[in-house]
Amino acid sequence: MKERLKILITSGPTRGPIDAMRYITNKSTGRLGTEIAKEALNQGARVTFIYGKGSIVPDIKDVGENLYLNLKLIEIITVSDLIKSINQELKDGTYDVVIHSMAVLDYVPDKYISDKVASGKDEWIIRLIKTPKVIKMIKEIAPDIFLVGFKLEFNKTKEELIKITHEVLIKSNSDLMVANDLKDLEKERHVAYFVDKNGKVIDVKKGKKNIAKKLVKFIFEELR
């Protein structure tokens, strides 16, 4: 293993602008991504943290001044911003790991209105268009990177959740996928299933801190 791993983490929400005042987004807070970044820094990694505007981010008091020097923060707003930042960071081939925990919008408004739309209308129809699958681009840019993805579903059985997650892992050429169900997050608990390339659940962790510790430990052991 290299003396110091270089890890790229994406975290938090993305936004789809509608007009000068309005946008669509999702529920992501960036809390789990931040816990992962803190744990990686504490284990000696260099971390680049790409986060959505309004997201929680690691603070200097979380890791101390010395470790904080190993953290690079990049704020993005849109899916296009995210794609541009990932391309920029990965093109030189210096990263060992990408942990893609950001909640990327699947659909965004098809056009942006640079002024504020007046509120007098009785109806406003907005057309949404599909965004690119960012996780599928990562191994295309950096084929040798160790890629960890996250899959969030809603109200699925464990078996359904694992099956869907494994399918996404294969399609994105990820090395590990973390499966979550929104119903568990909304009950103020976070249950995560760690799914490998064979579709096997190699571990289950509850709570964001425990999930982050397990994930970082797994990565360091795999790349040792």
Q: What are 40-57's pLDDT values in tens digits?
A: 999 999 999 999 999 999
Measured CA to CA, the distance from residue 128 to residue 147 in angstroms comes to: 29
Q: Which residues of 2-37 are buried (b: 16+ CB within 10 A; e: fewer)?
A: eeebbbbbbbbbbbbbbbeeebebbebbbbbbbbbb
Residue keyed to tokens 């699958």: 133
Tell me the whole-structure pTM to 2 decimals.
0.93
Percent of the chain with pLDDT over 90: 85
CB 25 within 8 A of CB 16: yes
Q: According to CATH, what is the number of the domain 6-223? A: 3.40.50.10300
Query: What confidence tens digit (pLDDT) does each residue in 167-195 have?
Result: 999 999 999 999 998 887 776 678 999 99
Q: Please, which residues bridge with residue 192 across strands?
A: 205
CB atoms within 10 A of CB 144: 8
Residue 187: per-residue pLDDT = 64
Token digits of residue 110: 């098809």
Q: Return the domain boundaries, the chain.
A: 6-223
User: Where are the alpha helices (H) located in 122-207, listed in sequence order?
Assistant: 134-141, 158-172, 182-186
Q: From the CA atom positions of the chain, what is the Rg in Å?
A: 18
CB 42 within 8 A of CB 213: no
